[in-house]
């Protein structure tokens, strides 16, 4: 039985889709069977980041409504054969996604994959609630920026109360992924530090992803950063984060002003 | 990249941190008091309603946030003129004094 992870942030543009693709690809590179599911119905961007936009025929809504089989809607990644994508619909609204239908789709995906990574839409509306509804774990993506931290704090409150697992007496494993971290600005005290963010979001740290042009480059090329920018610090940070998801203990370091230098030990997955 | 706000030697991060803290405090207080306010509203409405027919649309609840305490202002339009019943709301006070 696979694990279902929701990637959420509340605020848009913080890196949910980039992170979903990067972590999915990193896990698949390690031989895991992974599906990334786009819940951003009406907008749909995960297929672009994955470079699969021209192959989309059926989508999550088709599967939920029963107009297409899961096997028809799933797209295989062209580079990694254990990585799959279930795209969102661009034409139909989120009303078309029923909770029962999503439950069925997720449970079928859970049977077929080791990891089901759900890319949540921004906001706290229906789409975001459905994306977290059947999750076992949550990755809260946050930028070291005041509005993002506030919104992630709100999302964290929802992740602690809304999922089915919580309603049935369980608890989600929650991970914090800090993205667009700029060590130079932090050093100049022009950006919230990792400690500042963690003070508000006191959950285990999954990774710190530095701000980098490589992210835009990967998006331009239509490949997850962990596939096309393998040697970059961003890619390495995502690969480490993916290994922590699997339960490996990897030393956590805060990116420093001197590029690539490791400054401080922060503790691993259980921090 | 220039910014119109002059750069201070301490940087803007501590300002962001302080603003964030007070923001979250406010967010949390709202979450905790959301229920309390609706309970207060209902009970006050019911209490006045027992003595005078009042219109729900003519009741205003307002909370003004202060630094250490907040003020709850309740504005209720009652459907009679004070001149017709001068002591309607003064009874407990006159009974006590």
Q: How many domains are contained in chain A?
A: 1
- The alpha carbon of residue A186 is apart from the nearest alpha carbon of chain B, in Å, by 8
Q: Who's near A54: CB < 8 A, 6+ residues apart?
A: none
Residue A159 lies in a domain: yes
Q: Do B12 and A192 touch (CB under 8 A)?
A: no
Q: Which of B17, B21, B28 to mutate to test the interface with A (most CBs of A within 10 A)?
A: B17
pLDDT tens per residue across span A20-58 = 999 999 999 999 999 999 999 988 999 999 999 989 999
Query: Which chain B residues are closer than 8 Å to A153 by Cβ?
Result: 24, 27
Contact A242, A226 (CB under 8 A): yes
Q: Who's near A97: CB < 8 A, 6+ residues apart?
A: A41, A60, A61, A64, A126, A127, A130
Q: Which residue of A has its CA nearest to B21?
A: A200
Q: For position A53, which CATH number holds?
A: 3.40.50.300
Q: Do A146 and B27 touch (CB under 8 A)?
A: no
pLDDT tens per residue across span A160-212 = 999 999 999 999 999 999 999 999 999 999 999 999 999 999 999 999 999 99
Residue A271 lies in a domain: no
The number of residues making up chain B comes to 97
* DSSP class per residue in B21-71: HHHHHHHHHHHHHHHHHHHHHHHHHHHHHHHS---GGGEEEEEEE-SS-EE
Give the ranges where chain A is alpha helix by DSSP (H). Answer: 16-29, 46-50, 60-65, 70-73, 99-112, 126-133, 146-159, 164-167, 183-187, 194-200, 213-221, 225-228, 233-246
Q: Do B17 and A153 touch (CB under 8 A)?
A: no
pLDDT in tens, chain B (97 residues): 445 555 556 788 998 898 888 888 877 776 666 667 777 778 888 888 888 888 878 778 777 766 667 777 888 887 766 555 555 555 454 444 3
Would the pLDDT of A221 be above 70? yes
Taking the CA atoms of residue A89, residue A91, residue A93 and residue A99 in that order, the dihedral angle to the nearest 10 degrees is -30
- The alpha carbon of residue B50 is apart from the nearest alpha carbon of chain A, in Å, by 38
Residue A14 lies in a domain: yes
Segments forming the whole domain that contains residue A26: 3-265
Query: Which chain A residues are closer than 8 Å to B27 by Cβ?
Result: 150, 153-154
Residue A255 lies in a domain: yes
């Amino acid at each position: 039985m696979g694990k279902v992870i929701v990637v959420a942030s509340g605020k848009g543009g913080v890196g949910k889709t980039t992170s979903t693709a990067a972590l999915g690809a990193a896990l698949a590179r390690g031989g895991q069977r992974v599906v990334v599911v786009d819940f951003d119905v009406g907008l749909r961007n995960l297929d672009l980041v994955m470079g699969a936009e021209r192959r989309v025929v059926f989508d999550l809504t088709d599967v939920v409504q029963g107009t297409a089989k899961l096997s028809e809607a799933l797209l295989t990644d062209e580079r990694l054969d254990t990585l799959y994508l279930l795209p969102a619909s661009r034409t139909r609204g989120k009303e078309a996604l029923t909770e029962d239908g999503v439950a069925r789709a997720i449970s079928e995906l859970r049977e077929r994959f080791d990891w089901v990574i759900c890319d949540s839409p921004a906001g706290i509306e229906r789409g975001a609630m459905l994306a977290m509804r059947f999750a076992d774990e949550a990755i809260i993506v946050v930028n070291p920026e005041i509005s993002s931290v506030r919104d992630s704090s709100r999302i964290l409150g929802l992740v602690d109360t809304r999922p089915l697992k919580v309603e049935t007496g369980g608890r989600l494993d929650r991970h914090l992924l800090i993205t667009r971290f700029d060590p130079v600005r932090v050093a100049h005290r022009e950006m919230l530090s990792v400690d500042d963010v963690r003070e508000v979001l006191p959950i285990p740290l999954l990774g710190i992803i530095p701000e980098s042009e490589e992210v835009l480059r990967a998006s331009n090329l239509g490949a997850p950063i962990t596939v096309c920018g393998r040697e970059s610090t961003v890619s390495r940070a995502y690969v480490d984060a993916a290994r922590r998801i699997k339960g490996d203990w990897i030393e956590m370091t805060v990116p420093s002003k001197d590029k690539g230098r490791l400054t401080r030990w922060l503790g691993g997955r259980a921090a | 990249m220039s910014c119109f706000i002059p750069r201070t030697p301490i940087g803007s991060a501590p300002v962001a941190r302080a603003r964030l803290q007070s923001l979250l405090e406010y967010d949390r207080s709202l979450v905790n008091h959301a229920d309390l306010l609706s309970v207060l509203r209902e009970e006050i409405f019911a209490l006045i309603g027992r003595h005078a027919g009042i219109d729900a649309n003519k009741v205003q609840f307002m909370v003004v946030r202060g630094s250490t305490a907040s003020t709850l202002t309740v504005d209720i339009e009652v459907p009679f003129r004070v001149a017709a019943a001068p002591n309607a709301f003064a009874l407990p006070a006159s009974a006590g004094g």
